[in-house]
A and B are shown apart, each in its own frame.
Chain A
Amino acid sequence: MISVSHLTRTFGALRALDDVSFEIQPGEVVGFLGPNGAGKTTAMRILTGYLPASSGTVRVAGFDVLRQSLEVRRRIGYLPESVPLYREHRVVEMLEFQARLHTIPRKERSARIDEVLEQVGLTDRKQDLVGNLSRGLRQRAGLAVALLPRPEVLILDEPTSGLDPIQRLDVRKLIQGLGRRHTVLLSSHILPEIEAVCPRVIIVHKGRIAADGTPSELVARLAGSSHVRLEAVVGHDVAAAIRILRTIRGLRDVVDRGRVGVHHQFDLICDEDLREEVGAIAAAKSWALRELSWRRPTLEQIFARIALGSGEEPVEPAASALVAVPEPPTEPIAITGLPVAPAKPAQPARVVYNLNPFDRGASRDLSSPKAVEETPGSQAPPPA
């Protein structure tokens, strides 16, 4: 239904989308997931034909979005994040306008309008001015406008942004119901939502597709660290306990997490849920159990991992707090006049800033480093 191949879009020097390819089959509900500025909206705008691509081809229902734009637009229902509706019109007038734009025959028009209003639950508000509707109701009105021409493809940009949790649940239910009749592509930066609604997730990060698959697949592929957490009284011989635990089939590794009071905590790394096997051993060995749980990384953790970079822990800004450092914070900072810890050999350069407050005071240049040492190692910094 939607086929995107090698799609690239640049805004000046910024690459909003970088060689993105994916396919969406008819009837699929796909979630576009990514932090703000990842390129979700840009991708959706290109799919609807609002923005042209810098390179690559996009086909919707077999039509090229650039060359057969009108054919594509007839088949797409698009709800932008801003929910554009004419505030001065009534809900029903807005729907009539959409019906005229999509040349829905006059006879079917009012029946169809009633149908979508029923679908989104706005039947009793159809004479209200759009400008007087609350955010959640406006979202539904926008959805009604997008649904009116029975589009084959429905593209929803952050359909739940700015809604309260109950409205969010409502919209989510509504979208779940849509999957049967339409191909749906929706974007969000809220994970539980995507997890709940979409059988397939495409994670976008910095204009590239970071991952594509079902939520559970993504969890399995990207995380690989699902485990059974065991907390039990195993006696003094922990090594023996570990040896016994290792005999379980399908177990990849045992991580000893140390003592918690009289209890001992283990993480049993495995791909499948082995709680029953572990439980059986605990029962056989009469270990007093306090916790036995199956833990899988959530999409949220995977997402955080992708967004922060390849599995790295977020780096705490330490000595750099005083000065704005233009380089990434992983660069070590030598403070002149103070004893400097030897630099790690893995790091090639050392950036030295002028932190001496007696040297020209506030007018000293802090925008660029005073010196960058090329030689790695534990050399003393140059004299200030």
Chain B
Amino acid sequence: MRGLFAIARREMAGLFIGPLAWLLLFIALLLNGWLFVLYLKMSSGDVDIALRLSLGESWTFWVLVILVPPLLTMRMISEESRSGLLEFLLTAPVTDAAVVTGKFIAAVTFLALLWSTVFVYALVLQSLGMPPDWGSVAGGWLGAVLVSALSCAIGLLASALTSTPIVAAFAAVVANLVLVAAPLFAGLSDQAWVRRAVARIDVIDHHKSAFLAGSLDTAYVVFFVAWTALFLFVTVRAVEARRWR
């Protein structure tokens, strides 16, 4: 357990030492801030609609969810396996699961930080005398973090399966895209059961209908946690499989 935190901490430090994390943070925050002002104007000053737009109602949110986590996680396993650092970590007294989970925690913490700027917007609005719906903001933030966690887990799996960061990032972006856009593709089918089945894994809808509405529905929490855990589990196995190659 302590090894897990040591790895998560090292990974956070590694993220922030390099320029990539700062660059991603800069771009995402700039975009978010600018878009939030735009949303406020569009909704003619409706605070709640603007906050919901920046936490999941808008397509830009989903673009960030699809693009940012793969860029964070692409190097985490693939590059270390190349440089031999994975050999160091896998012979250190920590389990493979701790190595993968430590890296995952670091990536999710980064994204949680990224989304938490919404609280700043909300606080500013409150101080200006327009109190937002805090339940919706908190739920939306939690949902955003869970959605990003799922995307991070997919990114880590891609990173564990390849040994080139760019390939890992590309594969993860494609996988994320497929997951997020699955309902759109299913809509093309005239078979009702296909559409019903895909609706069960409709990430956008799960996020919008529960978290953004400000309700903490355990079914939806479990949905995201379970899928994330599944991908993490497969990642651990993929790391383990590297030993056999």
Contacts and interface: CB of A to CB of B under 8 A. Distances in A.
Range, interface on chain B: 20 to 34
B222 interface: no
Given A70-B93, A100-B9, A101-B93, A52 B243 contact: yes
Given A50-B243, A82-B83, A102 B93 contact: yes
Which among A49, A82, A84, A89 has the greatest number of chain B C-beta atoms within 10 A? A84
Contacts of B88: 78, 80, 84-85
B5 to A, nearest CB: 8
A49 B2 contact: no
Given A48-B91, A80-B88, A101 B3 contact: yes
Contact of B84 (A49, A82, A101, A103): A82
A17 B93 CA distance: 25
B238 interface: no
Interface stretch (B13-21, B59-67, B119-127): B13-21
Given A84-B83, A97-B6, A78 B93 contact: no
Interface string B98-115: 000000000000000000
A114 interface: no
Contact of A101 (B13, B85, B87, B92): B92
Interface in B10-53: 10, 13-14, 17-18
B6 A100 contact: yes
Nearest to A142: B88
A71 to B, nearest CB: 8
Contacts of B90: 49-50
A82 B84 CA distance: 6
A278 to B, nearest CB: 55
A80 B6 contact: no
Interface string A277-294: 000000000000000000
Nearest to B90: A50
Contacts of B9: 100
A29 B121 CA distance: 64
B162 interface: no
A70 B91 contact: no
B244 A52 contact: yes
Nearest to A82: B84
Contact of A50 (B5, B85, B91): B91
A112 to B, nearest CB: 15
Interface string B70-98: 00000000000001111110111111000
B14 A88 contact: yes
Which among B5, B18, B83 has the greatest number of chain A C-beta atoms within 10 A? B83
A93 interface: yes
B3 A73 contact: no
A98 B9 CA distance: 12
A103 B209 CA distance: 44
A86 interface: yes
B220 to A, nearest CB: 35
A45 B10 CA distance: 24
A88 B84 contact: no
B17 A78 contact: no
Interface in A14-72: 45, 48-52, 70
A74 interface: yes
Contacts of A86: 10, 14, 85
Which among A85, A100, A103 has the greatest number of chain B C-beta atoms within 10 A? A100
B26 to A, nearest CB: 19
A49 B6 contact: no
Nearest to A48: B91
A73 B93 contact: yes
A40 B86 CA distance: 19
A171 interface: no
Nearest to A102: B93
A76 interface: yes
A101 to B, nearest CB: 5
A154 to B, nearest CB: 13
B6 A101 contact: yes
Contacts of B17: 88-89
Interface of A: 45, 48-52, 70, 73-74, 76, 78, 80, 82-86, 88-89, 93, 97-98, 100-103
27 contacts: A45-B87, A50-B90, A52-B243, A70-B94, A70-B95, A73-B91, A74-B93, A78-B91, A80-B88, A84-B85, A84-B88, A85-B85, A86-B10, A86-B85, A88-B14, A89-B14, A97-B10, A98-B92, A100-B5, A100-B6, A100-B9, A100-B10, A101-B3, A101-B7, A102-B92, A103-B2, A103-B3
Interface of B: 2-3, 5-7, 9-10, 13-14, 17-18, 83-88, 90-95, 243-244
Given A50-B87, A93-B13, A100-B10, 17 more contacts: A48-B91, A50-B91, A51-B243, A70-B95, A74-B93, A80-B88, A84-B87, A84-B88, A85-B88, A86-B14, A88-B14, A88-B18, A89-B13, A89-B17, A100-B2, A100-B6, A103-B2
